[in-house]
Each structure stands twice: as C-alpha cells, then as structure tokens.
A and B are shown apart, each in its own frame.
Chain A
Amino acid sequence: MAIANANLANQPGSIIVDDVSMVFNIASEQYNSLKEYFIALSRHKLRFKPFYALKDISFSIKPGESVGLVGTNGSGKSTMLKIIAGVLSPSEGTVTVNGNIAPLIELGAGFDHELTARENIYLNGALLGYRKEFIDENYQRIVEFAELQDFMEMPLKNYSSGMVARIAFAIATITEPDLLIVDEALSVGDQFFREKCERRISELVESKNVTVLFVSHSVEQVKRVCERCIWIEKGNLRMDGPAAEVADAYAHMER
C-alpha cells in the first residue's frame, strides 16, 4: 500500500488522504481583543473543548477517478474538501494532492464585487494559476459559456448570485484541471445552467484526464456523475465503494 501510494503521489490528479483528523477548539467565547484574552487567561477561563470534525480518515483517489462525497449536514464533507483544496491544514495526518486544482467551493470566492466581470475573470484566473496569455485566448469562450456577453463591463455587485455562479463555473472549467472540486456549487444557477454544468462535469469525467471530487446532497446526481462514492458520517469514514452501492446505502440510512 505504501509503495502504491508513493507511485500515486507523483501522478497529477491523485489525492492521498492519510490518517487525517481535524480538531477544532471550540472556545466558549471568541477572544478578539487582548483585554478579553488576558482577562480570560487570568481567570483561568481559557478553556477549549476539542471537537473532531474528521477522525482518522484515509483514502486515496487515482487520477481520472470521479468520486462523490456524501454525508449529512455537519458531518465533515466540506472540511474534507477544504483540506484537500489546501485551504485548511489538518490537525493530524497528511494530504498529498498533485496537479492543478480548480476549486468550486462556494462559487464567486475570489471575486471582487467592485470590479467589472471582465476584470474579475482576470483576477480569478490569476488565483486559479492561469497564465495571462491563456486567459486572453480563452476570454471569449468563458464569456460564451457563461452566456453573459452583454454584462461584461458591469460591476459584479450588480450581478445576481446565479450570474456570478455562471462566470465562476465557466472560468474554472474552461480547461481541464487535474483536479476539479465541486461543492454544491450547482445549486445556485437556473435549471438550464445547472444542466449545462452537469454536462460539462460529465465531459470532464469522461475525458479521464480530470479527477473530479463532487459533493452533493442529491443522491441521484452523485450516481449520475460519479463512479465511486465516499460516505463520511459524523467525522468518520462510513463507506467507500462504487457510487450506486454507497449512495443507496446512504439514502437508506437517512430514512
């Protein structure tokens, strides 16, 4: 297993999650000022109770796999995604991710609402790591995919959340990333755009060049898009296997 993981670690698009735990210290209060902090400290009130958002999770994903992540609210899915995306660092264990990541965790992160849509495409592209020339060349395709040709010079604050989602999705998927992370992002757009997004994700899945990590509350959608499914429940890895099997088990647990 260790040798297999070592091989995997060098392939773009692979994810190795090794014995990861995430502990949050829930303070009874949040100390935002020195005064509060020292008062609490002097009264020995600076107590934290540890909360395990994830507990000893291990799995590995091969390049090109499409994996759904299911679990009830607050079970640690988003924490897992954030650790994989590199936003959070785990309290224990290691996560090795290889290649370029396109994170669609809450669409519209990395946008500035005072800037116009055009300026935001460049800013967001930079944050994803795209080359400037690449954005130049593909600008038109991004706009076309988002179907917002007439609104490019408008500040983003005048956009609806669905319009922002369209642009964010178009930027992130205009090329094939090594790893695409989708976190319930598709729930904002209208029905037609949701379908378009799902088609695009399926395209990326079928290309076999992109590892797709997909969080959804729709069991049907997971079964449609993914071949494998991981079920995390209350911070523990409950089940890992073929999408249909795991998704059904999850759906039955709920009832």
Chain B
Amino acid sequence: MSQTETTTTSPTSASNAWYPASQRDIYVVKQLVSKDFKLKYRRSVLGVAWSVLNPLLMMLVQAAVFSQIMRNNDPNIPNFPIYLLLGNTAWSLMSDATRQGMESIIFAQSLLKKVRVNRWVFPVQKVLFAVVNYAFSLVAVALVMAVFGWYPSWWALLLPLGVFYLALFCIGLALLLSALAVFFRDVIHLWGVFLTAWMYLTPLFYSVTILPGWMQSVMRFNPMYLYVTFIRRVLLWRMNPGLLVHAGCIGFALASLALGYYVFHKTEDRFILYI
C-alpha cells in the first residue's frame, strides 16, 4: 500500500511539518476566525451581505426616530445618519467582541480539556472576528457616505489606527471577562445588563452637548466615547482626532490589556477544573 512506501520518504520525518511554537498561535487564530466566519453565514441566502445590511437597517430606524429630536440640539453634527452609523458600528464591534470573547473559554472547553493550546487564543480570536465583521460594516459606511456625497479627507487614513486602539481595548476586556465567566457564570448576565446601561450612557444616538455640564466632563473617562469620537472625527468631521483623544484611547487600551492579561494569566491554569 501507498502508506508503507511513504513512511520511508520525506514527509514522515519532515521537521518542516510544524510551525515553530511562536507562529503556531497565529495560524490557529486564523483557522478559528475563518471557522466562525464560515459558520456564521452558512445556509444564509444573503450571507456576508448581512454584515452590511444589519448596521444599515439599524441606522435607518434610528435616523427616522431620532433625527428630529436630536439633530437640532447640536448644529455641529453635519450629517446625522453618518454620525449614527459610525457610533453604532464601533459600538457593536465592542459589544460583539466582549460578549463572544467572554464565553469563548467556556465554549472551547472540549478542546481545552484535550489539546494543549494557548488559552488566550480563544478570547483574542473572538475580538478579531468582531473586527472582521466591523470591516464589512464599513461597506455600509462607505455606501451612506457616497449617498450623501460626504467624501473623506486624508484624515480617514487614521481610521485603522482608531480601530486598532479599540481592538486592543476589547482584547483586554475579553481576556478579563472570559476568565471571570469561567468561575462565575453570573458575569455573563451581568455584562449584558452593563452593556445596555453603558450604551445609553455613551453618546451614540444623541449629541454629548445635550448632557449637563458635569456629565460632559465625566464623558472624557468613558472609553467608548473616546473611541467613537476618534472614528467620528477622522471620518465625519474630517479632522485630526487630537492629542487628548489619542492619549485617552491608548491609555484605556493599555489599562484594559494590563488588567485583562493579569487576571487571565493568574487564573488560566485553573480554568480546566471549572469548565
């Protein structure tokens, strides 16, 4: 048979069959993201078009409801639908990433019990998957901008940087939440409530100027407001996000990463006993 002959030839003892340990995780993450992607759209007629349609439909509803109430409050918002869309898409990037990242370790239990694989791969992969989806929702952004003739300036080139900051922030949260959720499943429900409250506290579909003065100052410490502002400034206001916003975005990303890494690293050896 063929396999007796092939055992003596090169592939069997091929030391080049394996990635060195450092590159392994990257390929595993890639495979997992592509798995999620395939499964998300398998047997759906419109498939990946949903990633574009979803934010678009959401924006239509919100624009219809809120434009009359909200727009007049802040003449500085030059285009309300784009304002909404940029806020909502960035928000769903964070909420998808953290919700799915949070449960990633629990869902990967059958794997973690039998195969040695670095555990951080799972929460990080979920964040990357959310980033991929965000990239598709940018098609919706582009469509809406084209409809309104709102052409981007050179500042739009900073968008990837903003998304990068946001992704780092999400990775930190996902690491933290996934570790906590292993020990206390309540965290999953709590986070859902927390996300809803946080969403209303973030100027996504209203302008920050309608808030009382003290809340506006507190808003500087709402990380999501900073990330959304970054993205809106480069795409909608076509301006430099500003040093303060940069610093805030980086600061929250690093703080979240540090906390997430610390908790995850401290507890990951005990995951297997609880999943």
Contacts and interface: CB of A to CB of B under 8 A. Distances in A.
A115 B19 CA distance: 24
A39 interface: no
A112 B3 CA distance: 27
Contacts of A105: 114-115
Contact of B11 (A34, A85, A138, A144): A138
A152 interface: no
B13 A109 contact: no
Contact of B28 (A85, A100, A112, A127): A127
B147 interface: no
B64 interface: no
Given A114-B39, A138-B11, A87 B115 contact: yes
B272 A87 contact: yes
B117 A175 contact: no
A134 B12 CA distance: 11
Q: Is the interface of B mostly helix, strand, loop or mixed?
A: helix
B116 A33 contact: no
Find the residue from B11, B32, B116, B117 having the highest chain A CB count within 10 A.
B116
Contact of B184 (A25, A37, A114): A37
Nearest to B117: A127
B13 A209 contact: yes
Find the residue from A122, A123, A129, A132 having the highest chain B CB count within 10 A.
A129
Contacts of A112: 35, 39
B48 to A, nearest CB: 17
B16 A134 contact: yes
A203 B17 contact: no
A103 B114 contact: yes
Contacts of B39: 112, 114-115
B267 interface: no
B166 to A, nearest CB: 27
A119 B35 contact: yes
Given A109-B114, A131-B18, A207-B7, A144 B2 contact: yes
Nearest to A209: B13
A109 B110 contact: yes
A28 B183 CA distance: 16
Interface string B126-140: 000000000000000
Given A87-B112, A109-B115, A131-B18, A122 B13 contact: no
Interface in A95-140: 100-101, 103, 105-106, 109-110, 112, 114-115, 119, 122-123, 126-132, 134, 137-138
Given A32-B184, A126-B28, A109 B111 contact: yes
A207 B13 CA distance: 10
Nearest to B28: A126
Interface in A33-88: 33-35, 37, 82, 85-88
A145 interface: yes
